[in-house]
Chains A and B, each alone.
Chain A
Amino acid sequence: MSERSALSETGSTVAPAPDLTPGRGTTSHARDIGKGFLVKLILVMLVDALGVYGIITAFGIGHWPIVISLVVGLVVVNWVYFSRRMVPLKYLLGGLIFLLVYQVFVMAYTGYVAFTNYGTGHMLTKEQAIERLQEYNQVRVPDSPTYPLTVLQRDGEIYFGIVDEGKALVGSAEQPLEEVSGAEVVQAGETTQRIASAPGFETIDFAGLLNLDQDISTIRVPWSSDPTSGSLSTDFGANGFRNQPALTYDADEDTMTHVETGVIYYADDNGSFTAADGTTLTPGWRVSVGFDNFKRMITEERLSGPFFTAATWTFAFAFLSVATTFALGLFIAITFNDERVRGRKIYRSLLILPYAFPGFLSALIWAGMLNRSYGFINQTLLGGAYIDWLGDPWLAKIAIIGVNLWLGFPYMFLITTGALQSIPSDINEAARIDGAGPFRVFRSLTLPLLLVSVTPLLIASFAFNFNNFSLIYMLTKGGPVYVGNEYGLGSTDILISTVYKIAIEGGGAKDYGLASAMSIIIFLVVGLVSYIGFRRTRSLEEIN
């Protein structure tokens, strides 16, 4: 780093020469504080207003994480923008807030899920699971009819009214059905009757039901004071059904009891009600399982095996994708960076076309074109050849890299074109005058300069391709599959698609906990590789 630039880089935080520091130029300050400060003030005030509005709203609905985040956020924003220090942060804060909310949260959430058994059978909270078990185990009392039902209201409480064996019965969740006198009964069907109105009760029609605060489909009116006689429930206020619970929940003991068999199910550590003989009730609920998901990845061969198999190909695929797209993109950028080439504009525009198409569509088109018997490539281009592009393990790999080259070179072309602009052409000119050939100029001057700005992007591109799930899925679905593989894994599956097949698609159950744990491992791998690559770039940067 040159001495000169070091001076300017000290910034405002440690200012050796205050009058040279940005933000403190006395002349400009005096002249511009009015306008600049005013705009800043207005913008920060707007943020504050929004924040305060948000805090009040979140407070109102009891959403504490948001309240806390907003309070912290507001303090930080005001502090940063009204402080004279922390100039860099003034430029970074906006992006950081978005990054924290939308990226870091997603990561943290995945991290949290990795330590739970979230997945098939354990999607709910315990409260929901108990509710659902009870709801699912309401059994219609044998041979009980469907009762035309009337929803009534008295003193704010909901009552159900039915006619059973000629008697008008009314009851609420608190009060078992009992006969009500003076009810007006009308014929509902050929053999059934309905209460039209009852003295002291207000009849609620369907439209009225929609405006109730309460969900009447959850109300259970005890049939009688005998709890084993079942209860009356309704669908949408039109029909009543007499149901009996097959399971009862004991909140004190935290157990479910099967009414008929008397079997008791205890809440276990895995988020299920389990009987002594090991049978469990579904659905269960989501619980923390510690490091179990990570342990399984190591101890279960059927999980760790495919992981290692896919790892080599994943690295090769990601590396080759970056290498080929960069090489071609750079080649094109340099080829058309010569002012003397006529029609450059049109060439460039046409070459950008693959990038203009939504990527998944292109992958689908390529998959069609590569069909062995009917695809355009074999049929027309290769004159009826019978090459199994997507069905042969090696050809499929080549096809994927070829298609990804097609998809990716315009990106590299764009960024290298952009980056080439930053290389002053007088350097090249000077080198040429010194007698360096074009290749020499490229290798010794252009490429190193270019790499400084694009290497981080190459690393990012590597990471992107490392997890390029949609390409693999749209083109080969990981196939050709290994015959008889239990998860349907194939030779072009990369790590992330392996995770998808093992933990989400296959195995008969979605296991988000395991999938999250695997994602984290993949992240650690790709993060580490990138970090090392990054360290190396930094040394490049220091040279310049």
Chain B
Amino acid sequence: MAFQTSAPDTVQYRDTRPKGQLWWRQIGWRHVVAVALIIYAVFPLIFALSTSLNPGGSISGSSKLFQNVDLANFKKLFAETDFPSWAMNSIIICTVTALGTLLMGASAAYAFSRFRFRGRHGALTSLLIIQMFPQMLAFVAIFLLLLSLGDVFPIIGLNQILGLIAIYLGGSLGSNTFLMYGFFNTIPRELDEAAKLDGCTHAQIFWQIILRLVLPILTVVGLLSFVATYGDFIIAKVVMQANDKFTIAVGLYQWASNPRAVPWSLFAAGAIIAAIPVVILFLFLQKYIVSGLTAGSVKG
């Protein structure tokens, strides 16, 4: 059975590189678009960076960028605040949640994609629709739920990292499953059949064949889950009830909600640091996201 992942450098346009006008029409414009979009994407962040480097800076009053360049805010962030423990909590919570989401989402997507069972369509639809419940009032229910669970299993109760992770996992099936489901469906079933003929069980097919082929979508979903968890403060601030248990988002939210004097520059510094893990993660995962299941990977 011929089965191989082709390397990303399988270039489809093998002929000579386009030159001159043709280059502009086919490629050059993409660079122009890139630059324009990058300005749009990055500009507000430059603004935040400028604020973070200006002790006493604000986010609405200053119209000149980089008037002041001073790392005092960053030093303060790590020396005088709980920020380092928030960052650690965020990384742990988001990593575990992302991995858990992948495991649950991929299993579910496999089940929906490869098995035909009664209520399959109904289950798929309900999964998606249940996630649409507006959780604005959830803080009361979540508090009570964790209170009760914590009486029995203290480690998933209030103020517990695992308690928060469990809540995030509870909400992870919906759209993640869908994204993966769509992708799983594009993996030819001939592969499964061949494997079955080879004597492989459904579990072997899942773990050894399918998961490998859906790597791009796994990385995408993992990243999406990480980012979504990373930015949440609404649920996290209900669950986490001690300063050193906060996540970055909760901690920064607390600073921003000071009714009197928000430490904007410190806040911006925190946000800049907060963005780094996601950017690194993306840089690292990018090649898997676009690794490409090119033609010829499956010749059933």
Contact = CB atoms under 8 A, between A and B. Distances in A.
Direct contact of A and B (CB under 8 A): yes
Interface of A: 4-5, 7-13, 20-29, 32, 36, 50, 54, 57-58, 61, 63, 65-66, 87-92, 94-96, 98-99, 101-107, 109-110, 113, 331-332, 335-341, 343, 345, 347-362, 364-369, 371, 374-376, 379-380, 406, 409-411, 414-415, 417-419, 421-429, 452-454, 456-457, 459-461, 463-464, 466-467, 469-470, 496, 499-500, 512, 515-516, 519, 522-523, 526-527, 530-531, 534, 538, 541, 544
A421 B290 contact: yes
B246 interface: no
A426 B45 contact: no
Contact of A105 (B115, B117, B141, B291): B141
Contact of B189 (A5, A369, A419, A454): A5
A523 B217 contact: no
A516 B137 contact: yes
Contacts of B242: none
Interface residues of B, number: 133
A113 B64 CA distance: 51
Nearest to B221: A418
A113 B143 CA distance: 14
B17 A406 contact: no
15 contacts: A8-B189, A20-B197, A22-B200, A66-B152, A95-B104, A335-B30, A340-B18, A361-B274, A365-B268, A415-B224, A453-B186, A469-B136, A512-B140, A527-B132, A534-B125
Contacts of B135: 106, 467
Given A57-B152, A102-B145, A360 B169 contact: no
Given A25-B198, A352-B282, 13 more contacts: A25-B201, A95-B173, A102-B145, A102-B169, A106-B138, A106-B145, A109-B144, A349-B282, A358-B233, A362-B44, A376-B47, A417-B290, A530-B132
B292 interface: yes
B278 to A, nearest CB: 4
A23 B130 CA distance: 31
Nearest to B271: A361
B71 interface: no
A66 B283 CA distance: 44
B134 A8 contact: no
A312 B45 CA distance: 32
B248 A358 contact: yes
B170 A103 contact: yes
A113 B140 contact: yes
Contacts of B173: 95-96, 98-99
Contacts of B200: 22, 25, 28
Contacts of A351: 34, 37-38, 41
B182 interface: yes
Given A7-B193, A102-B171, A94 B107 contact: yes
Nearest to A461: B175
B99 interface: no
Nearest to A427: B295
A365 B48 contact: yes
B107 to A, nearest CB: 4
Given A356-B278, A364-B59, A512 B196 contact: no
Given A8-B196, A10-B116, A422-B182, A368 B58 contact: yes
Contact of A424 (B38, B282, B294): B294
B87 interface: no
Contact of A360 (B12, B186, B233): B233
A341 B33 CA distance: 12
A334 to B, nearest CB: 10
A104 B131 CA distance: 9
Contacts of B103: 94
B167 interface: yes
Contacts of B290: 337, 417, 421
Given A364-B59, A374-B61, A531-B125, A357 B275 contact: yes
Contacts of A10: 116
A371 B204 CA distance: 58
Contact of A348 (B33, B120, B129, B286): B286
Given A106-B145, A349-B286, A88 B132 contact: no
A356 B275 contact: yes
A350 B286 CA distance: 12
A425 B295 contact: yes
Given A92-B111, A454-B182, A414 B189 contact: no
Residue with the greatest number of chain A CB neighbours at <10 A, chosen from B133, B183, B231, B294: B133
B230 to A, nearest CB: 7
A356 B38 contact: no
Contact of A460 (B132, B149, B199): B132
B55 interface: no
Interface string B158-188: 0000000011011111110111011101100
Contacts of B253: 360
Contacts of B145: 101-102, 105-106, 109
A475 B228 CA distance: 19
B137 A371 contact: no
Interface in B226-241: 227, 230-231, 233-234
A457 B42 CA distance: 26
Contact of B196 (A21, A365, A368, A544): A21
Nearest to B129: A527
Given A4-B189, A9-B189, A26 B199 contact: yes
A86 to B, nearest CB: 8
B134 A522 contact: yes
A347 B149 CA distance: 46
B60 interface: yes
Contact of B295 (A50, A352, A374, A424): A424
A500 B173 CA distance: 27
Contact of A418 (B108, B217, B252): B217
B59 A353 contact: no
Interface string B24-52: 00110011011001101110110110000
Nearest to A512: B137
A364 B256 contact: yes
Contacts of A57: 151-153
Interface in B63-121: 63-64, 103-105, 107-108, 110-112, 114-117, 120-121
A453 B182 contact: yes
B266 interface: no
A512 to B, nearest CB: 6
Contacts of B144: 109
A418 B220 contact: yes
B179 A418 contact: yes
